[in-house]
Each structure stands twice: as structure tokens, then as C-alpha cells.
Structure 1
């Protein structure tokens, strides 16, 4: 679950044929995204996000994306927001602090290789618990074996991270693979 939820959360910002998108662009779209993941996030199906929750969730997303970028280094980070990502230390602190609101709080330590420890969580609001679960999923993923399979999609205009499921996988989806092959064909035959 942590891999799925982390990739879904990090993928709330991206690009498609019509351009860049942000699935957490306002309280209404944040509400829709959270309701679609209500079981994983431990919220009621009628959950409604406030603007404050949206802002805090976007800040957490940027921190998670910064840690994903660090995990794939020295490969380049996703082009979606690489210039806007917070620093590594700030991101690690935010993700760990946010995870404290989950029922149990895994904490990520990163001296050499990432490692996972668990501490008791503090009592928190629904909003904090929701973000705590998102942070917990990221911590568990980044400290686990799936981190070594994390990649940035190299297709034109794609800005997603993905977990490599096959040795020959280069893109996050077949559609991105098709787009990359079409762009390569165009470049080769444009001359």
C-alpha cells in the first residue's frame, strides 16, 4: 500500500496532452482526490478538505517529491517542479514530523542508506492524521526495497515518478512509451 499511495500522492502534479495539471489545485479537487483514497487515508467518504488542509498537503507533496528526487540521484529529478522543491533536510524534517500524526509514526533516518524506525504517534486532528498517513506511506516506501526501483519517466512532457516493474521498463505507462517512440521517430526523420 505504501508504494501505491506514495506514487499516487506524488503524481497529483504532472502533465498530460493538455499541459500541466495539479489534482490538489483547490479545496474541491483536494476533496475529490482524498475521497478517492478515503480507505487508505482513514477518512470518512464524505470528507471535505479546507483550504488550509490543501495548502499543508501540497507542502507535504513537495517534500515527498524532494525525497523521491533524492532517492533517484544522481539521475535527474522530475521536470514538473524540480526547481520548486524544498531542500532535502527541510523535506525530511517535514515528512517525519507529519508522520507523527499517524497512529504509529515511522521515522526515516538517512545517514548513508535510508532506514526505518517507529515511534508512538501523538493525538491529532482528522486533517493531521490524513497527512500523517501520506507521510507514513512515503517513509515506509523510501526506507523499503522499492526505493531502488524508483525512476523518473523520460517521456516528453511527462513529469511522473514510477516504480520499475520490469527490467526493460523505461516509462511510467505504455502511453508515455508510445509518445517517447513517436518523438524519437520524428527527430530521426525530421532531417
Structure 2
């Protein structure tokens, strides 16, 4: 049985995955500067509201990074009683602080009522984000809120392959790792441990 992934889950997960294993034992952060965030926003433009433009600044970078810390802390809670990602284990925010940060970020773009009334149709009120706030951080926070409150949250796992720091959504019932290469690394590590413990 294969599972599908909603747009909110994908966006929240992709934000968390901007922290990943760098390949040489270190952790890589895709959001170290404004250019990194701008690149990430362009890559995710199809999943972001139209009010989110491609231009970002230092203040937006700081707010998105703060939000990511809250999201990863709440992901660590969601995978419990399993272990969180090794990248988070030593720097998790307290849950009340992570929740407050997420909720505050979701409120960065208040909505305003907008009336539309097409020819031959009834008038309809839509709620659209007001301009001039922080629509990017708000959109990411709202995606994380929707994901964490959905049944999809129960499929969230931390990958525990050697050196991996990613979270992932189980896409099939037997999935243990975020990607096949992590499964291979874990099997090699288990094989090595077994042979190391076997007396010669």
C-alpha cells in the first residue's frame, strides 16, 4: 500500500529537510544566507501562495530559520516515543516555546475579506492575506500547522541511518529509512557491527 503526501505535509517536511547530512559527517544547512532561502523559495514556488514573492531579506531569513527550529522540535515530539533526528537531539526547543513560535509565525500575515462578484454569479467573500507583512513565514507556518494537525503526522519518522538527520513520511508500511542509500548504509553498519563482535 502506497501513501500519498499532501501539499502542506510536503512543504513542512521540505522546510525541515533544509537541515541535512552533508556527506562528510557534518550537517549542511541550506538556509545559511538570503541567497539560499531565495533559491529554496523559487524551488517551492508552486506550493506557496501567490502573495509570496521571490524576494527575501535578512529579516525573512531569520524568521524562517526560527520557524524551522520550531517545526523540527515539533517533528521530534511527533515521532515520539521514537528518537528525534540526531541533528535536533541536543537543541530541541521546549514544546510550549515551539508551539508559540509556530502560532506567532502563522499570524504574520493577517487575512482580509475580499468580495468577488462575477457576472451571473452570487457574490462571494474570500479571505486573502494582507500585504506588507511576512507572507513566506506565515505560509510555511500554516502548512506546518495543517500537517501537524492532520493524520499524516502519524507517518512522520526520523531516519536513524548512520549520519542521517532527516525526517520523512512513511510512504509504505515497511519503510524504515528516508531513502534507499540510508537503508544501504544502515545494513552495512549492522553487518560491520555483527562481524566486529564475532570472535575470530
Query: TM-score, normalization: structure 1?
Result: 0.83
Could you tell me how far apart the structure 2 residues matched to 1:4 and 1:100 are? 21
Q: Pick the aligned partner of 1:89 from 92, 96, 115.
A: 96
1:99 corresponds to:
106
- Stretches of structure 1 that go unaligned for 5 or more consecutive residues are 105-119
**C-alpha contact (below 8 Å) 1:150/1:164 kept by paired residues:** yes
Deviations 1:96-126 (A, max 9, x none): 121123576xxxxxxxxxxxxxxx7873536
Check whether the contact 2:156–2:168 (CA below 8 A) recurs between aligned residues.
yes
Q: Distance in 2 between matches of 1:54 and 1:157?
A: 26
1:30 equivalent in alignment to 2:37: yes
Determine which structure has greater relative contact order: mean sequence separation of CA pairs < 8 Å that are 6+ residues apart, divided by chain length. Answer: 2
Structure with a larger share of its residues in helix: 1
**Aligned partners of 1:38 and 1:44 also within 8 Å:** no
Moved over 4 A (4+): 43-46
- Structure index of larger Rg: 2
| 1:40-189 correspondence to structure 2 within 5 Å | 40-42=47-49, 47-102=54-109, 123-125=130-132, 128-189=134-195
Structure 2: 5+ residue stretches without partners:
1-6, 112-126
* Aligned pairs, number: 175
Q: Which moved more, 1:76-85 or 1:136-145?
A: 76-85
Q: Does 1:190 align with 2:196?
A: yes
